[in-house]
Structure formats: structure tokens, C-alpha cells
Amino acid sequence: MKKDKILVIGACGQIGVELTLALRKIYGAENVLASDLREQNELLKGTGPYVSIDVMKKDALQLQVIRQGITQIYHLAAILSATGERSPLIAWNLNMQGLLNVLEIAREEKLDKVYWPSSIAVFGNSSPKQNCPQQTIIEPSTVYGISKYAGEFWCNYFFMRYGVDVRSLRYPGIISYKSAPGGGTTDYAVEIYHQALKEKSYECFLKEDTYLPMMYMADAIRATIELMEAPAEKISVRTSYNVAAMSFSPKEIFQEIKKHIPDFTISYKSDFRQTIADSWPQSIDDNVARKDWGWKEEFNLSETTADMLKNLQL
Ligand code: VAH
């Protein structure tokens, strides 16, 4: 039986680090090749093979895929919402061309599977704010959201036209302690834990009542692997699945942390990211993912907070 050989592109990012470590546990370290443009993340050093790859250089990437006998690609490299608004065309180019390079290589090399993350950032002001459904009016207002929504249609096209088994999740904001987030609007929900422990105070760049869909990293990694390991016939969505776990506001996460750190204080000074956050849904309906491949979250805000603070204090 052909051995799975996985390439993770963007392995040094917030999700990439933990996804690489999780995949290495399942498939064996030597069968998961981690790659990124930047220096290898300290957490990955010594855990398996690493190679520096620029996803924008298709020929060099394809050579690696052939030489290493890659059978699956997890393509995570992207410029996120906040950074993308500072460099719109750079974000569009990386997010789109990077994906197209991976899809073309998957087609030409007949790869078994591809994973590519989308985001709840595809939704805009015209989408329902509460329990935003899998299919609805979708008019993204950030370059990141535009690139993710366009990418979803490219994934569906490569599946329908060429049979490329590419699968995708619309991640909410992801909370983690191992690796830092990278330029997103939901990054406050990670920074707040670090600041609570270091400074016992935090200046939040979103207003206190800004509700956003969020997910603990452990749930996000499990959702990704469960989707990729689901039988193909169970996958009814070839754009990208809504997945959800919890929704909360800065005020609620502050109050949850305060249960552990009573003298923790917060102030609010919203910046350009407030407009981005206001354009997104406050909660997500993920019943299609639950029905198709049995998605169910395990971490709520209280459990996330306890686990974050415990691990950040180690
Ligand atoms: C961002 N963390 O803030 C990402 C995510 C839903 C938001 O895609 O841009």
C-alpha cells in the first residue's frame, strides 16, 4: 500500500506548527515534510524533516513534490486579514497564486489529497450575523476574505473538472499557546492571555462587545484531520465547510480570565481592525459539517481559558 507522504506548506505559522506536530504523530515524523519561507520554528526543530520552500515558485515546489514522493499537501501559507489590508495586492497575489500553484501540482502529479484553509472572513456585512449558514449571501470586504472566497471556487473547480480531492474548512479565529498568530483581526484573543500573565492588563484593539466566532487550536487541528480522513463520499462541500466551536466578546474573555487572575484589568482602543471584525458574522451555523463528517467541538471558552493559562505558565 502506498505510504502517505505529506508536505505542509506554511508549517511555521500559527496553525502550521501544531498541524505539523499532530500529523507527525499520526503518519510518522519522517513522512511529514515541513516547509516554510522563513527559518524553521523552534518547536519543529528535531521533530522531522524541514525544507525552505517558496510556494510562489511552482517549478521548484513541483520538483520537491516529485523528489520527496509527496502524496498529500496541506497548504497553509497565506497573508491574513489585518496584514492583507496593509498590502492588498501582495496578499491577493500570494493567497491566490500560491493556491493555484498547489492545485496545478496536485492535478499534474495526481496527488491523493490537498488541504487548504478558508475562513469565516469570506462573509461580509450582507451575510447573516447570527448562525451564518453554509450557503448565504457572501460578499467579503477584505482582500483576505476576497482571496479566500475566490480560492474556495478554485478548489471546487479543480475537484469538479479534474477530480483533485481538495478539502477545506472556514476557520474562525484560532486560539493557541504554542505558536503566535500572524496578522489577524482575531489575534487579540491570543494576546490577551499573554498580557494577562505578563502585565495583568491588556489594551484591546476591538470594542468590548465585538462578538466573533472562535475555536481552540486543539479543536481546529482535530477538525482538519477528521475532515481529511473522512471517506470522500461523505464530503458534500467542495468549496469550504463552516466549522464553529464558540463565540465570545473581548468583555467575556476578559471576565473568564479574571476568574483565574482577579487583578487583571482591560482597556479598549479600537483600531482599523474593528471595521474588519464588524463585517464578520458573530456566530456560525456548521450543521453541514456535523451531518457530513461528524464535526463536534470539545473546547468552550472556560475550558480554553483554563488550558491556555495552564500551558502559558509552564
Ligand atoms: C484573521 N485569524 O483574523 C484570521 C481568521 C477569522 C479570522 O481567518 O484574519
Residue with the nearest Cα to atom 5 of ligand 1?
173
Over residues 59-63, mean pLDDT:
98
> What is the band of 314 on the pLDDT scale with cuts at 50, 70, 90?
confident
For residues 281-299, give the mean pLDDT: 98
* 167 Cα: distance to centroid of ligand 1 (angstroms): 19
The verdict on 72 and 50 lying in the same domain is yes
Q: Which three cell numbers stand for residue 103?
A: 492545485
Q: What percent of the chain has pLDDT over 90?
A: 97
For ligand 1, whether the C-beta of 122 sits within 6 Å is: no
Domain presence at residue 253:
yes
pLDDT confidence bin for 136, thresholds 50/70/90: very high
Ligand 1 pocket residue status of 173, Cβ below 6 Å: yes
Give the integer Cα–Cα distance in Å for 284 and 132. 5
Residue 238 belongs to what domain range? 6-172+216-242
Nearest to 137 by CA among 148, 149, 119, 147: 149
Answer yes or no: is 1 within a domain.
no
pLDDT at 94: 98
121 and 262 in a common domain:
no
Question: What pLDDT is attached to residue 258?
Answer: 98
**CB distance 172 to ligand 1 below 6 Å:** yes
Task: State the distance from the centre of ligand 1 to the C-alpha of 2, rounded, in angstroms.
Answer: 36
Q: Distance between CA 185 and CA 200 in Å, rounded?
A: 22
Q: Of 200, 227, 242, which closes a domain? A: 242
Gap from CA of 213 to ligand 1 centroid (Å): 10
* Nearest CA residue ID for atom 7, ligand 1: 173
> Does residue 183 share a domain with residue 162?
no
Instruction: Report the CATH number at residue 202.
Output: 3.90.25.10
Q: Is residue 45 part of a domain?
A: yes
Tell whether 121 is covered by a domain: yes
Write down the pLDDT at residue 182: 84
| pLDDT level of residue 3 (50, 70, 90 thresholds) | confident
Are residue 111 and residue 208 in the same domain, yes or no?
A: no
Backbone angles phi, psi at 67, to 5 degrees: -60, -40
Residue type, position 308, single letter: M
Is the domain of 288 the same as that of 228? no
pLDDT reading at 124 higher than 70: yes
Q: Is residue 283 a part of any domain in this protein?
A: yes
Q: How far is the CA of 221 from the centre of ligand 1 (A)?
A: 15
Tell how far CA 284 is from the center of its chain: 15
Cell of 239: 468549496
> What integer best gives the mean pLDDT of the chain?
97
103 CB within 6 A, ligand 1: no
Query: How would you class 287 by CB atoms within 10 Å of its CB: exposed for 0-12, middle for 13-18, buried for 19 or more?
Result: middle
C-alpha cell at 191: 494576546
> What letter represents residue 139's amino acid?
E
115 is catalytic: no
Q: What is the pLDDT of residue 180?
A: 87
Q: Do 119 and 74 sit in the same domain of this protein?
A: yes
The residue-averaged pLDDT of 62-76 equals: 98
**62 and 180 part of one domain:** no
Give the nearest ligand 1 atom to 144 CA. 9
My answer on whether 17 and 145 are in the same domain is yes
CATH of the domain at 88: 3.40.50.720
DSSP labels, 268-295: E---THHHHHHTS-SSB--HHHHHHH--
- Residue 1 predicted with pLDDT over 70: no
pTM: 0.97
Catalytic residue among 144, 149, 193, 216: 144
* Backbone angles phi and psi of 73, in degrees to 5: -120, 130
| 142 CA closest ligand 1 atom index | 9
**DSSP reduced 3-state for 242:** strand
Please indicate, yes or no, if residue 189 is contained in any of the structural domains: yes
Q: How many separate domains does the chain show?
A: 2
Position 168 in a domain: yes
**Do 231 and 133 have their domain in common?**
yes
**Domain for residue 24, yes or no?**
yes
Helix pair 88-108, 58-67: axis angle to 10 deg: 40
Q: Are residues 190 and 221 in the same domain?
A: no
Average pLDDT over residues 162-189: 96
pLDDT for residue 2? 63
- If one residue of 122, 149, 171 were mutated to test the ligand 1 pocket, choosing by the most ligand atoms within 8 A of its CB, it would be 171
Q: 81-121 pLDDT, tens per residue?
A: 999 999 999 999 999 999 999 999 999 999 999 999 999 99
Whether pLDDT at 45 is above 80? yes
Q: Does the beta carbon of 179 lie inside 6 Å of ligand 1? A: no
Q: Are residues 193 and 298 in the same domain?
A: yes
- 84 ligand 1 Cβ < 6 A: no
For residues 130 and 209, membership in a common domain is answered with no
* Residue of the CA atom closest to atom 8 of ligand 1: 119
